Amino acid sequence: MTDFDPAFRADVLAGLATPIKAIPARWFYDLRGSELFEAITQAPEYYPTRVEAALLSRVAAEIAALTGPGRAVVEFGSGSSAKTPLLLRAVAPAAYVPIDISGDFLRQSAHALGTDFPWLNVIPVEADFMVGVTLPPTVADMPKLGFFPGSTIGNMVAATAVDLLRSFKATLGVGAQLLIGVDRIKDAGVLTAAYNDAGGVTADFNMNLLHRINAELGGNIPVDAFRHRAIWNDRMSRIEMHLEAVRAVDFSVDGRAFAMAAGETIHTENSHKYGLRDARLLLRAGGWGLLAEWTDADGQFAILLAEAEAPRFAP
């Protein structure tokens, strides 16, 4: 058992003990998982990263005109920060605070960014942004711009997404701005292909969770008895990823025994897709007022800029 994380253990044991098995998607992102996600973004079928990056570079100057220079850019779940240079170059911030759960990955990326932006004060924070984050004191008095690209908001069910938006507001403060990427509802074939790439990278990403459980939590899950499944749930407007047992299996994790029937799944991720009105409503529910929104020519992806509203009387 290397790198034992009590929160990982608690989530896995609880998630496997319920009648419908589920493990939070955030546990995908160990170093290997983060690398596999980067590989997904290179898969031809996985359009969101490419489309969002192209959209961001097209509208970066418009964004900069609305944000102004001198802000502290706070990125939630920065990963490899691949889209960040586009934003940083345009908005000329006073500081950049990448927040990520994967510390090794965070430090690697922050270091790489430092060489491209020698003038920028980069202050990485290793934290789970789902739990309220306290910003470093250096940026306390700077105006803030939250950055939450990649449609990561889609990984949460609506109630959790709203909680998260409220927590961003608590972290960044009233008057702060938030730039958020949202993947839009589109043809189901395009959506399912994006999560079932022919190269099998998404499958590896999903299956890596089982390897991680075995390695870190003393599990003996027979990984070859599972397969990757990604389906479009139209009613819930989301792609669901599952790990499906292809035969009946018994295994243990940290000394606890579990059994799964053939065809039973562990639900590992939701990726909700939104209409523009849905996205605006979600922001409003989280206390953020829309300032501007942009979408690509094919309407695949949206970027929204919002402002943390002061509480006020409303009829």
Q: Which is nearer to ligand AVJ, 80 or 271 (CB)?
A: 271
Q: Quick check: 80 and 106 in contact, CB under 8 A? A: no
- Nearest residue to ligand AVJ by CB is 271
Residues in contact with ligand AVJ by the rule CB under 6 A:
40, 48, 150-152, 154-155, 195, 202, 269, 271
Q: How far is the CB of 202 from ligand AVJ (least distance, A)?
A: 5
Q: Is 312 helix (H, G, I), strand (E, B) or coil?
A: coil
User: Helix 84-91 to helix 103-116 angle, to the nearest 10 degrees?
Assistant: 40
Q: Which residue has the tokens 């990963």?
A: 79
Q: How far is the CB of 27 from ligand AVJ (least distance, A)?
A: 13
Q: Which is nearer to ligand AVJ, 98 or 150 (CB)?
A: 150
Q: How far is the CB of 254 from ligand AVJ (least distance, A)?
A: 26
Q: What is the DSSP letter of 142?
A: S
Strands 125-126 and 265-272: unpaired
Q: What is the DSSP letter of 220?
A: -
Residue among 87, 79, 130 nearest 106 (CA): 79
Alpha-carbon span 271 to 280, nearest angstrom: 17
Q: Quick check: 306 and 289 in contact, CB under 8 A? A: yes
Q: Which is nearer to ligand AVJ, 148 or 251 (CB)?
A: 148
Task: Give start and end residues of each alpha helix (H) in the chain.
Answer: 6-17, 31-40, 47-67, 84-91, 103-116, 158-172, 188-194, 201-216, 276-285
Q: How far is the CB of 312 from ligand AVJ (least distance, A)?
A: 33
Q: Which is nearer to ligand AVJ, 48 or 287 (CB)?
A: 48
Q: How far is the CB of 80 from ligand AVJ (least distance, A)?
A: 11
Q: Which is nearer to ligand AVJ, 94 or 158 (CB)?
A: 158
Q: What is the DSSP letter of 27?
A: G
Q: How far is the CB of 29 from ligand AVJ (least distance, A)?
A: 9
Q: Which is nearer to ligand AVJ, 151 or 177 (CB)?
A: 151
Q: Which is nearer to ligand AVJ, 36 or 142 (CB)?
A: 36
Q: DSSP states of 222-247 as a string?
A: -GGGEEEEEEEETTTTEEEEEEEESS
Q: How far is the CB of 89 from ligand AVJ (least distance, A)?
A: 22
